[in-house]
Structure 1
Amino acid sequence: MKRLLALAGIGVTAALALAGCTAGTAEESAGPVELTFWHGYTEADGDVLQQIVDDFNASQDDVKITTEVKTWAVIDDTLLPALSADEGPDIVAMPAERLPVYADRGAFVDLSEWYAGDDSNTAELNPQAVEMVTVSGAPYGVPTGFVPLSVFYNKALFAAAGITDFPQTWDEWRAAARQLTMDSDGDGTPEQYGLALPDHDTVANGLWPTLFYGAGGDVVEDADTAVIDSDANREALEYWVSAIRDDKISPTGLDGIGADELFSSGKAAMHVGGPWMASIAEDSGIDYGIAAVPAGPEAQAASAIGVAMGVTAQAGKAETAGAEAFFSYFFDLDVATQWSLGSGWPPLRTDVAADAVAENPVVVSLTEIAPTSRALLPGVVNSVDVLDAVDDLTQRAVAGESLDDLLPAAQDEVQAALQ
């Protein structure tokens, strides 16, 4: 691990000295700078993250990080009170959509100078992953996970329907979904759906924005302007509402949990989700494949789900320098590869070779899809209310209400949330 520090160009002692905390021998200093790191990784990814922290601690004598594992909800509930009492963490990880909220409240350190440094190891990061942690033009965190929504499909059902190639365009996708939809008794309710396409409470509410991207649309522009009432979004809604209501490729009124259950029970041939769907499929005995969301008429892009970590405003100069040294270590090529394999998410660095992650087929598939990633509502502070407005729009559209009324109303709701 000391070799990794050297390769990464990380001079921890130098960083601390620049921060005004000169490191020396045990006799000359009070010991290493000690940092507390809160995160919510509780599964195998938590074990891998702990190993990375332990290896970092063992690789040098100037910084010691102690982790505290909490649920993501507890972190969200307790971070600001803890920081107000000067009892919070120096480093904290959280779902990326929450980072702008805390950056806006002054809870995170601006990392612009560190990103600009030659030893930050950020030059090869997925630029959309960096966009995810950028608020008002400045990076207030670093990505620890960034994965696009992708299509999980049941290979056995595809084979039974005679479909050998996964669709590449919306029209091919819709046609395949029709072919995979089975209503054997003709009662109007299929026993098998081609696609589980929920109209509300979707995966991080990123599914319908993904469909908007495909038609050339979006939800918000420059973090402060609503653009949901557009011809492109109308086209996307009309196309997929018709596929649900007229072609019956998916149930109406379906939510995200219901979509998971349809796919895991073998009653839906396709489902849009994240890496956790791999374990759900395996536990259900489904032989599955993973593919990119097919290209719409204007673009191929998918909302990406992410997690980020940042340095809190509680940290002093020495603590900030120590945290930045850890971030540089985290993004070393070897460590980034280790983290990708252990977390099951695609590498955050774009220069990780395919053969480096070949032992994990899920990571291989997600790495191939990674170029379609697009940060969802980057820099938007009140993203929850924005996505609630999208949720209301899509659910009511699938229920049959007029887009002439729904789109202007959604535009006003989103703009109000941004303000």
Structure 2
Amino acid sequence: MIRQRLCIALAAVLALVLAACGGGGDSSSSGPTEIAVWHGYQDTEGDVFKGLVDQYNREHPDVKVSELYSKNDLVLQKVLTAVRGGSAPDVAYMFGSWSPNIAKIPAVVDMADEVSQPDWKWDDFYQAERDAATVDGKVVGVPALVDNLAIVYNEKLFADAGVAPPTPNWTWDDFRAAAAKLTDPSKGQYGWLIPADASEDTVWHYLPMLWEAGGDILNSDDTKAAFNSEAGVKALTTLQQMAVTDKSLYLDTTNENGPKLMNSGKVAMLITGPWDLSSLTDIPYGVQVMPTYAGSDGGHQTISGPDNWVVFDNGDAKKKASVDFVKWLTAPEQVKAFSLGTGDLPTRTSIGQDPAVLTQLNETLPGTSAFVENLSNVEKVRPTVEQYPDISEALGQAIMSVLLGKAQPADALNTAAQATDDALAGR
């Protein structure tokens, strides 16, 4: 189940956001309050979500929730158009990377006061989810999904090469050495594959390495780039060594060949998320946490891409019903039902730490529980600044220039840092 959660808002979106107007008024109907929920769930997720909506409608006869499928990566543009026309949805599933843009929409409900109420149990959501939903103190949504990156490896290729499988104590030196041993040019076999299209997915794979090396994306007040540090160079040098020197790193320029090449025995390791597990049907595989850098206090950090349920103010009655529905949908009981029904990671720590839930998830799709446990290694999120699309583009180009042997890590990062500083300064 491959999802594109990391799409970045287009630059033109910001102008639309700033021009957006508020939602419409309450309906004069004397029947149940009707609210529309936009989401991108399909297949199993769609079926489970529909079941939950039906359950809510049965248990809340004063509210009628209708669901409308909308492709996830198009929702921001559709929402902006709807807001401008006074026809915003009442609730929409929206990418966490859009939070700074969402915060600019006047019709979006600030959930800060709501989630501060004890019965919401806001602290039960993973810290990274709460951070990604908060922009300058405004809570723009409630967590709808969470994921992370870990090592997924082909157990047979490791055994055939006589290489010990990854351990929780692996360093990037261990990872690099194993990848080299698992590379066989005569077979077209590589130790590792990385998305290499300069997109946010490419950047997403570099950021945990940056954090593990002790670095960060921006400075403490989000005014300047910080990734062109010694730590940033160290992380990018690791990629350079594997791609250019060792030639153990396969550059997937299409960003869609990972599971296919792993199933065919051409790639021994992916650093990917739980969404790829269901595609690995032809091999025995294992899941292990990210490597770290020896001597660094960055630990085995990973990255998360939380998405949110965003509520829009379409009048008091609809707003109240929408907030109540989101509260119900994201309560522990429904989080558990959705996770067990779909295999998605639970968005609440109380469910993620339930041994019975972990066992059931792993029985359905082996390795899922390792990703749930890996959520404890999510310590940082991407900066919630409007200029992040520019930062991502600059970093993506820098990473690719190094992977292709066209630039040195320090030079590439300095160039990206200048572009980042210009964007943050509005130049």
> For this structure pair, what is the TM-score category when the shorter chain's length is used for normalisation?
0.7 to 0.9
CA distance change for structure 1 residues 408 and 267 in 2, over 3 Å: closer, same or farther? same
Greater shift in the superposed pair: 244-253 or 50-59: 244-253
1:359 aligns with 2:353: no
2:79 maps to: 79
Tell me if the contact between 2:36 and 2:90 (Cα under 8 Å) persists in the aligned partners. yes
Report 1:372-383 matches (<5 A): 372-374=377-379, 376-383=381-388
C-alpha distance in structure 2 between counterparts of 1:224 and 1:141, whole Å: 25
C-alpha displacement of 1:219:
1.7
1:197 maps to: 194
C-alpha distance in structure 1 between counterparts of 2:380 and 2:58, whole Å: 34
Q: Look up the SS of the partner of 1:93 in the other structure.
A: strand
Report 1:72-151 matches (<5 A): 72-151=72-151
Report 1:9-408 matches (<5 A): 30-167=30-167, 168-184=170-186, 191-199=188-196, 200-201=198-199, 203=201, 205-221=203-219, 222-251=221-250, 254=253, 256-282=255-281, 285-297=282-294, 298=296, 299=298, 300-312=300-312, 314-352=313-351, 353-361=354-362, 362-374=367-379, 376-400=381-405, 401-408=407-414
CA RMSD for the aligned pairs? 2.2
Q: Look up the SS of the partner of 2:395 in the other structure.
A: helix
Amino acid at match of 2:418: D
TM-superposition CA deviations, 1:69-107 (whole Å, max 9, x none): 011233233211111111120101122112321212334
TM-superposition CA deviations, 1:327-368 (whole Å, max 9, x none): 221232221111222332221111120212422214312111
CA distance change for structure 1 residues 83 and 331 in 2, over 3 Å: closer, same or farther? same
Tell me if the contact between 1:201 and 1:255 (Cα under 8 Å) persists in the aligned partners. no
2:421 maps to: 415
C-alpha distance in structure 2 between counterparts of 1:107 and 1:60, whole Å: 25
C-alpha displacement of 1:261:
4.0
Aligned residues: 384
Tell me if the contact between 2:128 and 2:306 (Cα under 8 Å) persists in the aligned partners. no
C-alpha distance in structure 1 between counterparts of 2:341 and 2:395, whole Å: 34
Greater shift in the superposed pair: 336-345 or 82-91: 336-345
C-alpha displacement of 1:258:
4.1
With normalisation by structure 1, the TM-score equals 0.85
Q: Percent identity?
A: 27
C-alpha distance in structure 1 between counterparts of 2:99 and 2:107, whole Å: 9
Q: Look up the SS of the partner of 1:347 in the other structure.
A: coil
1:5 maps to: none
C-alpha displacement of 1:198:
3.7
C-alpha distance in structure 2 between counterparts of 1:322 and 1:121, whole Å: 19
Q: Look up the SS of the partner of 2:123 in the other structure.
A: coil
Q: Structure 1: give runs of 5+ residues left out of the alignment.
A: 1-20, 22-28, 185-189
C-alpha displacement of 1:253:
7.1
Q: Structure 2: give runs of 5+ residues left out of the alignment.
A: 1-24
C-alpha displacement of 1:40:
0.9
With normalisation by structure 2, the TM-score equals 0.84
CA distance change for structure 1 residues 91 and 224 in 2, over 3 Å: closer, same or farther? farther
C-alpha distance in structure 2 between counterparts of 1:296 and 1:90, whole Å: 46
